[in-house]
Amino acid sequence: METKLITRTDAAAVQRILESNPDYSRRVKGAPSGIGAAEEALSALPPAVDIHQKVDLGLWEGPDLVAFADVIVGWPTDSTAHIGLLITHGARHGEGLGRAMHDAVIDYVSSHSAIQTLRLAIVDTNAEIAEPFWMKLGYEPTGEASRYASGDVESMSRIWARSLVAR
Chain segment 31-88, per-residue pLDDT in tens: 888 888 999 999 989 888 999 999 999 999 999 999 999 999 999 999 999 999 999 9
Residue 167: its pLDDT value, please? Answer: 44
> What's this model's pTM, rounded to 2 decimal places?
0.92
Residues in the chain: 167
CA proximity to 6, closest of 29, 49, 38, 32: 38
Alpha carbons 134 and 138: distance in angstroms, whole number: 7
CB 69 within 8 A of CB 104: yes
**pLDDT tens readout for residues 127-160:** 999 999 999 999 999 999 999 988 888 999 999 9
Domains for the chain: give ranges and CATH numbers. 2-116 (3.40.630.30)
Q: What is the pLDDT of residue 118?
A: 97
